[in-house]
Structure 1
């Protein structure tokens, strides 16, 4: 028997037994003891059948009125109608069995007891129906939030991918007179695109991100020559931690862009990734000064966009911070690492 069913029916049996004894005492106190046991038993059985029907109705998908007061009125009305019908049936059965006509006090007492029993179960079963509706509503809300979350993550990632392709194509055009550079560039671009077209999850190992970053930096090295010096340092423990795709690349893109805008070549860009206990820390340092982002020129690939992606995928614990001093800009990303080695919470399905 499924868990919870046996205790439910045991509670039912105890409840009806207590009602039987209570009802028997009340009817006996009205000085009509000769038909009390049979009448009360019939009343209990009839009420049990009625409430069983109410329970089945409460589990159906019948529409209910909106608002608390209309629903309370419905419960009270249903209990009242059932009480009148049950009372009429029981009194008819009692008279047909040879019992004398009951007094008005007896009829009223029996009606009140019947209403109490049926009303109690009406309220209980309709409360169960309301609980089902609330749980279903919360499930729909969570599903809708997950769909919105996934859509926004996909949108933010889609902003980043074309941005890189635009930069890469501009680099190819800039190197059109250098066949060797074109060969190196196109090979690196092909390797990068090969990884880009593979099915992507909401979170991917940092190692894959850094492999793509190597190809990206090869393309930038062809474009800038000796004007760009890059270095990547990553410890072994950090390489397998899942991170949002293109997380590091978006930081490096901004480092190169604003580095050349605010400092003279050569521009140095240093990427460092370390695992510190239950945290992953990725630091991107570049030569130059901090430039406050201009919303009018934003392409959706900067720090604000990255911070939003991290919040959506990993929760509010993930964060991005920056510092500028001594002619360098330092952007630090800290991600919580879950117990299984994954970054933060699970993202939406890819």
Structure 2
């Protein structure tokens, strides 16, 4: 079962919500009210500055502008409640536009009407001073401000929704990646253990002393197998130790039919690689190459570091026909490519080919420190 840390996220209505939802909601509410206050205060201040450049502004009219700001905050807050209650944010754009235009016009009329009423009550203006042309202009102006407010509100919501979707996508991508890697490991371990146990079974009756050696080497491999269940990468040094134990087990089984060489550069020992990946390819080299030849053959493992990348070469006696080269089944090719892609993306590479008529060459390139998190 795929599990996600519930201390980090939970799901509700198909949205990812932080576990500390109450804290975040409080923060969003505070930010909303601060934005409301600052936005309308800026609108009032700019208008007062502009007016003061042409005429003196009585205290009564300053109060009127302050009241206008407070009314603007109240009306747009009600508009926000209408938007949320009627789920306008979930509507398609062609349905949102007419609703917002009408709501902005109504908001402008309400703000203008209430402000006008208060200004008359305060004596800042007389009713006969209001002309229908100036009233229409005032309504259009305030409706435009309400429209700008709506555009900002919708834009911020869509931006937040986009960011949530991105976070959700990244979380699930990471979870699926972890799940796939663990699944691939589970596929590898039974295959490896089956061959290892076959090697020991063949030795128990024929050569008890060598069987004891094989058991010791198998215990090392089992210990390594338990270790890799808790990590997505291991050092090349640890992998090579396991490969040597495996090859020694197979050497006891194949005797002189199997010859191997390990040429590991000193600067490659600490490079991080997917566990059991190289070992599986070595195992396949024996299974599909050496074991099919009556005279056996050789397996060479070479590693070196070049231009910030680890180059791994596995060369074995054998030959793959065109069908085998195209097929991913049975040769560890699919798993290897998939694991490299999950961990390193396009920076890693894998290839297998016939180097000549009697030699198969497998090459892997892994970026040093290039794991995709």
TM-score (norm 1): 0.82
Aligned positions of 1:323-334 closer than 5 A: 323-324=353-354, 325-334=356-365
Q: Distance in 2 between matches of 1:271 and 1:108?
A: 85
Q: Is the Cα–Cα contact under 8 Å of residues 251 and 302 in structure 1 kept in the other structure? A: yes
Partner residue, 2:216: 187
> Alpha carbons of 1:215 and 1:77: their partners in 2 closer, same or farther (altered >3 Å)?
farther
Q: Does 1:106 align with 2:137?
A: no
Equivalenced residues, count: 331
Q: Distance in 1 between matches of 2:251 and 2:102?
A: 80
SS in 1 for 2:313: strand
Partner residue, 2:231: 201
Give CA-to-partner distance per residue, 1:147-198, whole Å, 9 cap, x none.
1111111111211111001111222332232212321221111111012112
Partner residue, 1:284: 314
Partner residue, 1:345: 371
Q: Is the Cα–Cα contact under 8 Å of residues 106 and 143 in structure 2 kept in the other structure? A: no
Task: Give the gaps of 5 or more residues in structure 1.
Answer: none
> Alpha carbons of 1:58 and 1:141: their partners in 2 closer, same or farther (altered >3 Å)?
farther
Partner residue, 2:273: 243
SS in 2 for 1:271: strand
Deviates more, 1:224-233 or 1:51-60: 51-60
Cα drift, residue 51 of structure 1: 4.6
> Alpha carbons of 1:202 and 1:164: their partners in 2 closer, same or farther (altered >3 Å)?
same
Cα drift, residue 94 of structure 1: 3.1
Partner residue, 1:212: 242
Q: Distance in 2 between matches of 1:318 and 1:36?
A: 71
Deviates more, 1:97-106 or 1:187-196: 97-106
Q: Does 1:86 align with 2:111?
A: yes
Aligned positions of 1:296-335 closer than 5 A: 298-299=329-330, 302-324=332-354, 325-335=356-366
Partner residue, 2:158: 130
Deviates more, 1:146-155 or 1:38-47: 38-47
Q: Distance in 2 between matches of 1:59 and 1:212?
A: 61
Cα drift, residue 41 of structure 1: 4.8
Q: Is the Cα–Cα contact under 8 Å of residues 58 and 125 in structure 1 kept in the other structure? A: no
RMSD: 3.4
TM-score (norm 2): 0.77
Q: Distance in 2 between matches of 1:48 and 1:21?
A: 20
Higher relative contact order (CA 8 A, sep 6+): 1
Q: Is the Cα–Cα contact under 8 Å of residues 268 and 286 in structure 1 kept in the other structure? A: yes
